[in-house]
Structure 1
Amino acid sequence: MDGARKAVVEAIHASPTQAVIYLSGGASQALGWLMSVPGASSTVLEAVVPYSRMSMVQLLGKVPASFAAQETSDNMALLAYNRALKLSTTGIPVSGIGFTGALASNASKRGEHRCYVSARTSQHMWRSNIILSKGLRNREEEDTLSSQLLLKGIATACNVSMDPLMELQENEIINEFKQSFDEDQELEQLISGQICMKVYSFDKGHVLERGRRVILSGSFNPLHDGHARLLEIASSIYENAFSCYEISAINADKPPLTLKQIKDRVKQFEAIGKTIIITNQPYFYKKAELLPDSTFIIGADTVARVVDPKYYGDNYERMLEVLLGVKQLGCNFLVAGRNVGSTFKVLADFDIPVQLEGMFSPIPETLFRMDISSTEIREKLH
């Protein structure tokens, strides 16, 4: 690897952005360049090569119109971006990179030799492609060029500049496009299921580290002192954990939140300097898939619903299977006492299946009890 290319890789590793990379049909050298320079673990969360037809179909969840096309690399990048959101430290910028190509092989290709790169971040999708002069280079030489194109896509996603590709013929033009998303478009993509979450990081001066998360989920309509105190107490139980809030834009029993509702609620967390994650999953077993290695703080009233077979198709065994899956993802529940009707209920008031023991831990009433609710606050305001 030459000095200029090594400098680009070093700059990529020095950036805060972490990436998941999906590539097929070429650009194999790019992974070697990334991995051969110290610091790769700061950048690469995962690299997957869905090389066979069936592997690509399973990744995309469909048979693409063309395996080597910009639309296919776009879809790969979007899948990689969602995967990066799940694998990364909450609040760290991530990117999803997709590459697909049709390069020289043992058998002569009827179509053009070409390659496509897509790089997705929270606010942008960068696209680039190039048609190579057929018969001019062997496979290794085409792979080198396609690897440079892929590296440039990764660099762009990390806000790192990189010189144009070398050794191109006059007729070999790199086509580049940039699509930007504003906040409303991102949230619309979230509600529609294109992206799995959006993170608003308002923790000024907080050093993000990989590790456990303590998450308080709710509607926060409005956010009040009880929420803040509960998260503070829970965070003190799990030292060095990253604490944050989570809202689902999708409700199991009500219409989705509107864009205005989401943005209005987000402003509350900006005011107190805390991170808020917006997801599209109302159920905790789905939240666990998005946010593994997390402790979810819930009220005693929620425990009853979490272990109620009614919410699992009236199937007790299904309930156990789902919740044991949550446990395998490294997630558990921290339970705060709460008024249920006119009675203050705690974890001990509910029957937890023996198979799930250890997944639910109480917050002692002596540490936290605050008989206040968002519903009561809303009623007083009206």
Structure 2
Amino acid sequence: MRACLARSDFSNLDFVKKKESHLELMDGAVRAIIEAIHASPSQAVLYVTGGASQALGWLMSVPGASNTILEVLVPYSRASMAQLLGKVPTQFASRHTAEELALLAYNRGTQLSKTGAPVIGLGFTGSLVGGQPKRGDHRFYLSTRTSNRLWTSEVTLSKGLRDREQEDKVSSCSVVSAVADACGATSAPISMLTESEVPYECERIFNEDQELQQLIEGHICMKIYPFMHDENNSNSERKIILSGSFNPLHEGHLKLLEVASSMYPDAYPCFEISAVNADKPPLTVSQINERVEQFKKVGKTVIISNQPYFYKKAELFPGSVFVIGADTAVRLIDPKYYGGVYERMVETLVGCKKDSCIFLVGGRNVNGVFKVLEDFPMPSELKGLFVSIPEEKFRLDISSTEIREKLR
């Protein structure tokens, strides 16, 4: 048994020496695959802990990184990991933790990405060579999440074969290959694993209805249907968002968003429906599909989210312009919706200002009288948060409720 282990160790050492002797070739392969990643339309958020640190440097040192990398976070301490996950994980280096990190990274990516860009969330957690010998295996877990796929890889490294820098490089190559695979880059995958270090991989593919069900259940925060293809602002990260139930979508909605877009031409205009309602049961998958079909017919982008409250929407879509009616603006500043506490209302809406959001207010027919923003007193603390659409720019006395009544 000892002789067998010794032969295996010598074989592995030879393998590593061969790899190190081809260091320049390997670095060239790394660069080629990263260039392919940056040439793809995908954008990524990476949450990495316990290893693979070189991958972050590689990805960001090759020109074009700003096309791909939205955010990188290294929650290295236990406290940082617990804060990110919202709990102390049962095991820090585990498949489950890597998948949770990937899902968090994916949700973060959907918030930060250009509208309609494919998003990749990557989670990595490892237990590599440390300052003190480890009793357990040297291993790492890697997971990627996209809109319709969850992929996970588990790798156990040959103990005693490499030092920390070498194990970090092995895991870094796996991270780069995983990102390339997730974004469909065509370059050949790279690996520094020995023949005995066989990754255990698994994947789940989701169809569109399964994605929507995950959204309703709160696992993913939004799904974007980019039906509008406008090259003028397709690269904009700022959004103009008209939220509503759109049951049904009508001319007033389309005209209101058109006017808002003329006031903020640098932003991407889109509609937004919350699958979760504060006062009603959540929408079903079939109801969401029916409403989405309306936007497909008119060629307008719609986002399905799971946030019914505007202060939560502001967190989900930082820097956005929210288009609302004057009646909605009045409800937003009414303390009764904040437990009757004026200070809580101000604090909540100041949070929207901190997220660099604006509420663009269109006039509405309220109890038979057309009202605009200036007809209502606004708290001085919220100056600049609400911007009025002049009546001469937009007035259309029509509502979804009236249309539904006529249809009945």
For Structure 1 versus Structure 2, the TM-score category normalised by the shorter chain is over 0.9
1:211 CA drift (Å): 4.0
Contact 2:119 2:146 (C-alpha < 8 Å) held by counterparts: yes
Residues 39, 315 of structure 1: alpha-carbon distance in 2 compared, 3 angstrom cutoff: same
TM-score for both structures, normalised by structure 2 = 0.91
- Indicate which of 374, 379, 384 corresponds to 1:348: 374
Partner in structure 1 of residue 279 of structure 2: 253
1:330 CA drift (Å): 0.9
Contact 1:145 1:165 (C-alpha < 8 Å) held by counterparts: no
1:240 CA drift (Å): 2.1
1:59 CA drift (Å): 1.1
- Quote the sequence identity (%): 61
- Indicate which of 80, 84, 95 corresponds to 1:70: 95
Q: Structure 2 counterpart of 1:233, which letter?
A: V
Superposition map of 1:1-382 within 5 A = 2-206=27-231, 208-382=234-408
Q: Structure 2 counterpart of 1:324, which letter?
A: V
Q: Structure 2 counterpart of 1:91, which letter?
A: G
Contact 1:152 1:162 (C-alpha < 8 Å) held by counterparts: no
Residues 166, 301 of structure 1: alpha-carbon distance in 2 compared, 3 angstrom cutoff: closer
SS at match of 1:67: coil
1:250 CA drift (Å): 0.9
Q: Name which one, 1 or 2, has greater alpha-carbon Rg.
A: 2
200-209 vs 41-50, which deviates more? 200-209
Task: State the distance in 1 between where 2:85 and 2:147 align.
Answer: 20
TM-score for both structures, normalised by structure 1 = 0.97
Q: Structure 2 counterpart of 1:4, which letter?
A: A
Task: String of CA shifts for 1:269-313, please: whole Å, max 9, x gaps.
Answer: 111111101111111111000001111111111111100111111
Q: Structure 2 counterpart of 1:176, which letter?
A: E
Contact 1:245 1:276 (C-alpha < 8 Å) held by counterparts: yes
Residues 338, 12 of structure 1: alpha-carbon distance in 2 compared, 3 angstrom cutoff: same
5+ unaligned residues in a row in structure 1: which ranges?
none
Partner in structure 1 of residue 21 of structure 2: none
Residues 167, 222 of structure 1: alpha-carbon distance in 2 compared, 3 angstrom cutoff: closer
Task: State the distance in 1 between where 2:345 and 2:379 align.
Answer: 10
Contact 1:92 1:208 (C-alpha < 8 Å) held by counterparts: no
Task: State the distance in 1 between where 2:186 and 2:160 align.
Answer: 31
- The runs of at least 4 consecutive aligned structure 1 residues that moved more than 6 Å come to none
Task: State the distance in 2 between where 1:211 and 1:131 align.
Answer: 40
Contact 1:216 1:231 (C-alpha < 8 Å) held by counterparts: yes
Task: State the distance in 2 between where 1:164 and 1:233 align.
Answer: 48
What is the alpha-carbon root mean square deviation over aligned residues? Answer: 1.3
175-184 vs 265-274, which deviates more? 175-184
Q: Structure 1 counterpart of 2:166, which letter?
A: E
Q: Structure 1 counterpart of 2:406, which letter?
A: K
Q: Structure 2 counterpart of 1:134, which letter?
A: K
Contact 2:125 2:141 (C-alpha < 8 Å) held by counterparts: yes
1:74 CA drift (Å): 0.2
1:204 CA drift (Å): 2.8
Q: Structure 2 counterpart of 1:222, which letter?
A: P
Contact 2:30 2:190 (C-alpha < 8 Å) held by counterparts: no
1:263 CA drift (Å): 0.6
1:216 CA drift (Å): 0.7
210-219 vs 140-149, which deviates more? 210-219
Task: State the distance in 1 between where 2:186 and 2:76 align.
Answer: 29
1:238 CA drift (Å): 1.1
What is the number of residues matched between the two proteins? Answer: 382
5+ unaligned residues in a row in structure 2: which ranges?
1-25
SS at match of 1:2: helix
Task: State the distance in 2 between where 1:52 and 1:232 align.
Answer: 48
Task: String of CA shifts for 1:34-71, please: whole Å, max 9, x gaps.
Answer: 11111111111111111111111111111212111110
